[in-house]
Amino acid sequence: MFRSNLKQQDSTLLNLKDPFLKEIIQYWTKFNYKDDNLDFASTYIWYNSHIRIENRPFFYRSWLSAGIKEIRDLLDNDQNFLSYNAFIDKYSIKTNYLEYHKVISAVAHYKKVHSTAYHDPTPKDVVDTLLSHTKVSKKIYECQINKKASIPSRSQGKWLEERDMHCNLSIIVNWENTYCLSSLCTRESKLRAFQFKFLHRKIATNDFLYKIGIKQTDSCSFCEEQKETLVHLFWTCKYTQNFWKSMFEWISQNFKDLENVSPSLSLCFGLIDDVKDLLFHHLLLIARHYIYTCRLGNKLPTLQVYTQVLMNSIEIEKQIAFHNNDSNVFVQKWSRFKNNLSQNLLH
């Protein structure tokens, strides 16, 4: 079974009664199935979605017991199919000409369809590849992600088209760093989840809610003057601008090495090039999420409430660090906080 090459939908044809086994086989086929790049002669015959009789992959136990596994087992020295008589002489299997002919036709059909697809002359057996790793589950997880993941080019393109992105210097966005940033900054899952949705532009703003008939108006929850788009809500709105300004002033006064920072859209949104200053990006991520909670609670963002929210986040981080025995990392990170409020938190 592990050498088979079944498409997931073909695995349902197996008529397995045990639900556990059925599920295992389904996951295995999803993981293992290869569309092409199989070397013809070493292709495994049994339960292979490319080789079908009456439109089903098949398996003859008596043939396997006689040693027939790969297509090469049906070939002679000149790489031609064995004649029926030569086959019977070689394997002494109970079969008939018709059955043998059906198998040969199925394999010949496979050869015809896939003759242009042999890219890899020495395909690695998946089981061997997996067993060579010490962390097999991790390897399978990585492979599954690679098969499923796709680059969100639509949301990336939309971000880069935003006019306000380029109002100062031309911005370089390193997307890999941008997507990793929130999980490097914090362990708080609400912040990570928020940033994930934010980067994929999946935060529902009135602009969208009005279009789908959920809201009566598309105007901004803060100023009620302009259309509430993602960029307006988190950046251009006058109330948000005021908040960013006061927030940047406050952090430049209260944090070491952040004396000269000034707000920009790419910075405030976490669309970044490098991930050097994680503390700074953490402060910005908390601010971004805070603006979002203000929008949900119909309140205007203020510096005073932001600092309270920040203190709560630091307290959570402290508890997690204490639990994980890495208080040193925590203290080192937040020792840049010069504010008196922080002193109790650090000790």
Residues in contact with Zn ion by CB under 5 A are: 220, 222-223, 237
CB of 208 to Zn ion, least distance (A): 15
**CA-wise closest residue to 26 among 57, 1, 55, 59:** 1
CB of 36 to Zn ion, least distance (A): 53
Residue 138 or 238: the one with the smaller Cβ distance to Zn ion is: 238
Residue 220 or 314: the one with the smaller Cβ distance to Zn ion is: 220
**CA-wise closest residue to 282 among 309, 304, 249:** 309
CA distance 150 to 42: 31
Burial class of 278 by CB neighbour count within 10 A (0 to 12, 13 to 18, 19+):
middle
CB of 298 to Zn ion, least distance (A): 13
- 162: alpha, beta or left? (left if phi > 0; alpha if psi -120 to 50): beta
Residue 223 or 303: the one with the smaller Cβ distance to Zn ion is: 223
CB of 155 to Zn ion, least distance (A): 22
CB of 226 to Zn ion, least distance (A): 5
Q: Which stretches within 263-302 are classed as H helix?
A: 265-269, 278-297
Please count the CA atoms within 13 angstroms of the CA of 258 that sit on its side-chain side: 26
CB of 116 to Zn ion, least distance (A): 58
| φ, ψ for residue 57, nearest 5 deg | -65, 155
Residue 45 or 233: the one with the smaller Cβ distance to Zn ion is: 233
Residue 182 or 205: the one with the smaller Cβ distance to Zn ion is: 205
CB atoms within 10 A of CB 91: 17
Residue 51 or 231: the one with the smaller Cβ distance to Zn ion is: 231
CA distance 170 to 53: 60
Residue 43 or 221: the one with the smaller Cβ distance to Zn ion is: 221
Residue in the structure block whose two tokens are 């997507």: 179
CB of 344 to Zn ion, least distance (A): 36
Write out the two tokens for 165: 């992105």
